[in-house]
Structure 1
Amino acid sequence: MMLVVPGVVGAAPTPVSQIPVSPTPVSQIPVSQIPVSPRGYSAPLSPRPTVVRGFDNPPQRWQPGHRGVDLAAPAGAVIRAAGDGVIRFAGIVAGKPSVSIEHGDGVITTYEPVRASVRRGTLVRRGEPIGILESGHPGCAAAACLHWGARRGAGHAAQYLDPLALLGAVRVRLKPLDG
């Protein structure tokens, strides 16, 4: 499969096998030892993508919502680690290729549909390629979308976060206590 980097006019296609990845898998790093980028997080696509569907966290965890954001991008776009961390998962979830990264601050970011170029346990740095975007994200208004999610914890204790907040792109509004 060949990959064309979006936004680079006249760029030659790059074989997926040549996407650089961290050379050394890291096994069972305790969360407290996962590096935290001093620069925080960055968007997983470059140039900064367009949000086609925003975060909609339901009031109760069992209710429907949209626990992430959909970012428009062409199929085959390089997906990059939003921050320093360790690959927690790279494989198929419910028929969709997915990658998740555990970061040193306790946040887990998720990326789908992404065909991974990394393996579980691999240490990644912010901005490093982790795979390529595939088409076929349901509900995407664009030709292809990256569903980018963020949470703290796992299972019943998971607290979903708006991943745009990791970029400082979320406006906080305070409401009066008296209604």
Structure 2
Amino acid sequence: MFALLASVLTALGTWPLVPQPEVVAPFAPPLHAWSAGHRGVDLLGSPGQPVRAALGGRVTFAGTIAGRGVVVVGHGARRTTYEPVRATAARGAEVGTGEQLGTLEPGGSHCFPRTCLHWGLIEQDPDGGEVYRDPLTLLGLGPVRLLPLE
């Protein structure tokens, strides 16, 4: 029992901003893949603040999309996304939980004039598609999801 609890606790991630930031916009999944929604959470930060990997993994993208710096870290069947970030970690780099990926860039987010990190979590579903999840679940926060026993 205790070993199981310990493995669950060690599987949890860490906040990508330190100290623990305010969540200024929560996860609001769309009803359909093409519908409007908020596919992550916005965390209040400050320009130049270090952005850290919420979980260890491999950097699968570090570059610019639509004029914003984006870093993506793969963790097997899921990946975390961070934007707007000026990347210091290179594509292909292995990063540990809490390791710096880059720095938070000012502007370029819908939190303007404040500076926010948009943090996302995407999982592969059994059919090979992708599903957006609440990244706060990596911290043991967010909604509880019950799974079948088998």
TM-score, reference length from structure 1 = 0.71
Higher strand share: 2
Structure 1, 93-102 or 37-46: larger mean CA deviation: 37-46
Distance in 1 between the 2:145 and 2:29 partners?
A: 16
Question: Greater CA radius of gyration, 1 or 2?
Answer: 1
Identity %: 46
Unaligned ranges ≥5, structure 2: 1-8
Q: CA RMSD in A?
A: 2.1
TM-score, reference length from structure 2 = 0.84
- The alignment status of 1:139 with 2:132, answered yes or no, reads no
Distance in 1 between the 2:46 and 2:109 partners?
A: 15
Q: Cα distance, 1:120 vs. partner? A: 0.8
Residue in structure 2 matched with residue 108 of structure 1 by the alignment = 79
Distance in 1 between the 2:11 and 2:124 partners?
A: 22
Unaligned ranges ≥5, structure 1: 1-36, 175-179
Partner SS state of residue 149, structure 1: strand
> Where does 1:88-127 land on structure 2 (aligned, <5 Å)?
88-104=60-76, 106-127=77-98
Alignment coverage as a number of residue pairs: 136
> Which amino acid counterpart does residue 92 of structure 2 have in structure 1?
G
Task: Judge conservation of contact 2:89–2:101 (CA < 8 Å) in 1.
Answer: yes
Q: Cα distance, 1:173 vs. partner? A: 8.5
> Where does 1:1-179 land on structure 2 (aligned, <5 Å)?
38-104=10-76, 106-140=77-111, 143-153=114-124, 157-172=129-144
* Inter-CA distance 66–129: structure 2 relative to 1 (3 Å threshold): same
Large movers: runs of 4+ above 3 Å: 171-174
Distance in 2 between the 1:168 and 1:145 partners?
A: 21
